Structure formats: C-alpha cells, structure tokens
Structure 1
C-alpha cells in the first residue's frame, strides 16, 4: 500500500502488523485440507493526513461476498438490535406517515434480518445484497432483494426503478468496501434529496481502547473515527448530522447523514465524540503507538493459558466461528492440539474447518455431549448473550474464557 484510499496521501504509518492470514470467511471443506491455502498480509496503517486507518486491498469484495458464510439472523441479539433500530427510525423519520409512500433501502442487507421488520410494518423496501446465497435466504423470507454490489450506477438504477429512498441503511458494510468514494457516491445516488442515510460501523476509538484487534481482517478495508467518517461522507456529497455510540461489535458509531445541501448544523453529539477522539490521540500518532504491544500481550496470555491447560490434561473447545475469531486463531498460531474444535449455530459451517488453523467446526450440541473444562468464546462482542446461552456448562463445572480485551475466565451461574 503506497497511497491512502480516501485522500490519496502517501503519509501512511504502521499501527499493527498481524502477519499473513487467509480471508477470514474462507472456511474449508474436508476435501480442501490437502490443498494450498492462500494467505495475505494483514497490516493496519493509518493515514496521518485524513486519519483513515486501513489495510491493503489485497482481496476483492467479489472474492469474499459472492457466496458468504455469515447469516445475520443466527445472532438473536443482532436481530433484536435491528428490530429496535427499525422501530426508532420509523418514529424518528415518520416513515409510516399516511401522507407519503416511504421507501427504505438497505445496502448489504444479508438475509433480511433488518428489512423483515420494515416489511412487517407495511413499508416499501428493497435490499441490495451481493452474496447470492444469503440474498436468496432474504427473498425466501419475503424481503425484496436485488443481488448487486453498490456503485454509483447501481444506486442510480435502483432510484430510476423504485424512486429515491427516504432512508438508506448501511450497517456493517462501510468498512467492507475498498472504493470508499464510489460506495459513498452510490449511497448519495440512492437517497432522496431530503432523505437520510444511516451507517453503523465499528468505532476505531473502541477498537484501540479495548484492544479489539481481532476485528482487523481482510473483509474490513478501513476503520473509522467520526473525524475520518466525516471526510469519507463528504467525498460522496453527504454531510454528518448526528452520531450515536452503540454497543454492537464491541463499540460502534451510528452515523446519521444527509445530502450536504439540506444537512444543516450537526448536533452537539458530533462535537462531543470528536472531542473524545482528539483526547485519545487519534488525530496524532501518539494514539496508536502502544497498540501493537497490547496486541502482543493478548497473544502471549492466551497461548500461555491454552498450553498450561493442555499440560494439566484439561480440555478446551471453542464457541463460535466468526471472522474475528479467525484473526485471533491465526495470529496466535492456535491449532487443534490446543483447541480441539469450535461450534457454531450456523449449519453452513458444520463439517468445515477454520481457515489457516484448520480447527473443526461442529454443531453446538457437541459441547454438552463432551463436557469440556473450558469454552473459549470467540464472538466476545456477544458476551452477555453467550454467558446466558452457555450457562449449562455450570452443570459439570465448566468455565468460559474470553480473550478480548484481556484474558478473562468466567465462572457461569446456572440459569
């Protein structure tokens, strides 16, 4: 990488180098285990001109998202988060007003986890989802879905066919596209001249403060502060109006933007978050310099725990097979000798193996059958949900292990 993908500057400084890993959602079938597996450098840098943190675009979205292993509806808390968002957005923007035929578009709509709540309210909507398999699941659930990547041309075509959108939703996708400017122009093409764009994306501030380095992976091409998001939005003719701090994915920002001509002055919350970012040093190199050392400590602590458990003859298995888990497993060099298997609620992953580390992925029922001493929880961002789901490990004295932000061993209580 020689140039910032947002502003074109050559002033890129290293934040953390995680070595080379396979794409995090490239789960292996059994017949692929004896075949070569590509791995790509995973090196986060920050632009000291616009402060966009980014990794090199070594894989394309087409390679990752044409068929995708992640189905949003398998997370109970995420579906509830989407339902609450829809309820609040409908009220905030009066989308159910009898005076207008509101139209909502979600970009990267996955399996319809969010738009199904819009459908239930009788509001006209459309999902734009590049992955053929999850888009088909959305249509099966009754959510109108177009299979496409968002570009200015796609946005213009949808607008011409369906009319401008009163609300465009882009949750957990603004980090997933290497062409930030083109994607933002696509959002502007979709949204009405007096409409709204709502974007949720992980906040670089919490990534740094909470040591959430496992959310760095090849699907995430960039990592935003509010300051860098303002500049990204402006590249497509959008202006930030409001921001909310939300707890999803360990700490995200919900950006409310409008076409620049109608945006007006931003709310005080925007200034408040910008001040927090500045106080954390994220507009100067000092805010990034110690991150690499804290990442190295996570690796040492987790490996020490797994090795000592193995030497005591104790069993450790995993829970979940999320993309972030594969960054952690590969960076730490964890193999089946230290983590016998992991389980996942998504049947698509059963019988497959984690990329790079080749740990078997089994159905969740296997944990109760085997009664391991420890369960390493890889989707740590769902901690509250999973402590409750896994409370049954109390029956045999099992314990949960959370690796992020620091190693934590939890005695669960019987529910």
Structure 2
C-alpha cells in the first residue's frame, strides 16, 4: 500500500508491524488443522497528510462478513449500551431508523419494542437470520451508494442512520459514507461509533489491530472522511465502549459544530496524533506488552500452574498470534458463543470450549481476552475466586486480579 485510501497522498509512515497473522475471525474446525492456513502482513501505517491510520486491504469484506462468527448480543453490556442509545435518541412514533451492519438485532430490537419502523442492513446472512428471528426487518447486503439509494426509494429517507463498529471495516470509506448519505433524510442524523485512535495509542490497545479493521480514526481523520462522502460532523461523544470509542454525529447539511468537537481535536493534537511524533514510541510499548505476557505465562507453566482463556474475540487472536502463544502456554479458551465451540483459534490453534469448562477444571489463572468487557467479566467470573484462582488482564499492561 503506497497511497492513503482517504486522501490519496503517498506519505505513509509505519506505526507498528505485528508480523503476519490469519484473518482473526476464521476459526478452524478440527478437520482444518492439518490444512494450510493463509496469513497476511499486519503492519499499521499512518498517512502524514490526513493522519488516517490504516492497513492495506489484503482481505475483502466479502471474505470476512458473508459468514461471520461475531454475534453482538452475547455481550450483555453491549446490548444495554444499545438500549440506552435508543432510549435517548429522541425517536418519534413516525420515525424511520436504519442501522448499517445491524448484526443480530442487538440495537434495532429496542427500536422494534418501541413500535418504531426500522430496517437493518447486515451483510452476514447467518447473523442477519438471528435478527430476523427477533422480529427485526433485515436486508442482507453490503452498503454502497447504490444500495443506499435503493433502500431510500423503497422505504423512504431515514430520520436516523446508525453505524456502530463498522466504519473501520470498510476499505472504500468514501463510497460507504456516500451510502450513509443516500440513506439519511436531508434533515436527518447519522450516528457512527468507532474505536478512537487516541485511546488505542494511549492504552496500548494494539490487539484491536486486525485485518478486518482497515482504518483507525481520530476525530480529525473521521471529519475528513465524512466530508468526502457528503456529511458534516456536528458533534462527538467520548464513550468507554471497546476500550474507548467516539460517537460521531453527522448531518447532510452544515450546522453549528459542538464545542466537544473542538475539545477532542485539541486533545488529539496535544497527544501528537496530528503529527508523526505521536506515533513514534508505540511499537516499543507494544513489544513490552508482549514480553510481559509471555514472561507471565512461561513462569506459570514452569511453576506447574494451569492457565485457561476466557473469550475468543478477534482482538484476542491478534494478541495470541503476535505473542506466539500456543496450547502449551494456554491450554484452551472458552466463549459464550456456541458457534465457536469445538473450533480452534486461527493461527494459534487453541481449542475453544463452552464457559462451563472453567468451573469444571478450576484453572489457577484465567486470561481474559476481551479486556474491553472488564467490568462485565469480573462480575461473571467472580466464581474463579472460590478455588483461589485469579483473572489476568494483558492490556493496557499486565494485571493479575485475585
């Protein structure tokens, strides 16, 4: 990749090189363990013109999202986050809401419960079926300007368009943004939630770098991406979700910009993210996270301690592969999603079981891979203390919670 996918500039500087890994959601069956497994470079770069951090498009969204392993509703806290958003969205009985990448209906189910008309656009047929089973009208498709125009012609313009945790997953940022513009009414609103590059850098959240995330946004770069597709950023909220996210509010028509936009832009600038200096020590901090986790796991193995994992998220697979963790250091992991049971993590080949396995085996340590759900999981895993076990959080720095 030699040119920025947003502004076209050629000045891309390396931020961190995580080697080569398989796509993070391509979990392996037992039969696939003896077959070749494709890997792709994972080298994050930043454009020194518009400051969009990005990965080359080595895999396509179609390869990842036609059949998808991630179901949003398995996170209780995320479903509650969506409910609060819907409650505060100011919807009227005659509103029309469209969510892009609507997953299994985790958000639109709350819109349906209010009796408000809505539509989900979800590319993964298997996940979309779960939404339909909840009574959420769902179109199986990838958003493009043409799909946006077709939905608008058939259903009318949307008063609110929601795009949560998808803006990073689209290599054609401008085309996708034009699709959002096609969906939304001229006086409507677009809400986008995406991980904030500022917290990713500050808190060493490098495991959220994986191939299906094509870019990582500051408010500055997001503002330029929205403008390129015909939308104007009018407000921003800082959210704790996914370790630190931004909720971008945009409109088709220019409107006064909230002071919060100015404040966050100033924070980003103070952190050095609008110049190359802010990115220069990130790779060294990532290397320390890797060394600390490996040292802990090796010491535990040498001491005869048992370690199991909790969760099999995409971010966990970046961490496991970058650190070179295999079943000799992490015997298995567990996950609430039955879709993953009996499969193996890509690259690291760690078996995935149902959560009940932890209580049955009573490991000395439980390595928590979805660290972004810390509060929820500390509560769910409180029973580990019954046998003197402890939870291990690898990010932002190694922490053992007894």
State the TM-score bracket (shorter-chain normalisation): over 0.9
Which residue number corresponds to residue 140 of structure 1? 133
Corresponding position: 1:401 with 2:397: no
Q: Cα offset for 1:55?
A: 0.4
CA–CA distance in structure 2, aligned partners of residues 131 and 9 of structure 1:
33
Which residue number corresponds to residue 201 of structure 1? 194
Report the number of matched residues.
Answer: 402
Which residue number corresponds to residue 171 of structure 1? 164
| TM-score normalized by the length of structure 1 | 0.96
CA–CA distance in structure 2, aligned partners of residues 265 and 296 of structure 1:
43
Q: Cα offset for 1:21?
A: 0.2
Residues 88-124 of structure 1, C-alpha deviations (whole Å, 9 max, x = no match): 11x2xxx225xxx210000000000000000000000
Q: Cα offset for 1:264?
A: 1.2
| TM-score normalized by the length of structure 2 | 1.00
CA–CA distance in structure 2, aligned partners of residues 115 and 385 of structure 1:
22
**SS state at 2:34 partner:** coil
Which residue number corresponds to residue 243 of structure 1? 236
Residues 11-43 of structure 1, C-alpha deviations (whole Å, 9 max, x = no match): 000000000000000000110000000000000
* Structure 2, gaps ≥5 residues long: none
Which residue number corresponds to residue 303 of structure 2? 312
CA–CA distance in structure 1, aligned partners of residues 149 and 201 of structure 2:
37
CA–CA distance in structure 1, aligned partners of residues 228 and 266 of structure 2:
23
Residues 272-302 of structure 1, C-alpha deviations (whole Å, 9 max, x = no match): 0000000000000110000000000000000
**SS state at 1:106 partner:** strand
Which residue number corresponds to residue 67 of structure 2? 67
Residues 370-398 of structure 1, C-alpha deviations (whole Å, 9 max, x = no match): 00000000000000000000000111000
Question: Runs of 4 or more off by more than 6 Å in structure 1?
Answer: none
**SS state at 2:120 partner:** strand
CA–CA distance in structure 1, aligned partners of residues 113 and 92 of structure 2:
12
CA–CA distance in structure 1, aligned partners of residues 380 and 255 of structure 2:
45
CA–CA distance in structure 2, aligned partners of residues 295 and 245 of structure 1:
24
Corresponding position: 1:285 with 2:281: no
CA–CA distance in structure 2, aligned partners of residues 285 and 177 of structure 1:
24
Residues 40-86 of structure 1, C-alpha deviations (whole Å, 9 max, x = no match): 00000000000000001000000000000000000000000000010
Match of 1:96 among 92, 99, 102: 92
CA–CA distance in structure 2, aligned partners of residues 225 and 87 of structure 1:
27
CA–CA distance in structure 1, aligned partners of residues 88 and 244 of structure 2:
19
CA–CA distance in structure 1, aligned partners of residues 55 and 34 of structure 2:
29
Match of 1:227 among 220, 229, 232: 220
CA–CA distance in structure 2, aligned partners of residues 325 and 343 of structure 1:
12
* Structure 1, gaps ≥5 residues long: none
Corresponding position: 1:218 with 2:216: no
Corresponding position: 1:272 with 2:263: yes
Q: CA RMSD in A?
A: 0.5
CA–CA distance in structure 1, aligned partners of residues 363 and 293 of structure 2:
17
**SS state at 1:325 partner:** helix
CA–CA distance in structure 2, aligned partners of residues 96 and 156 of structure 1:
23
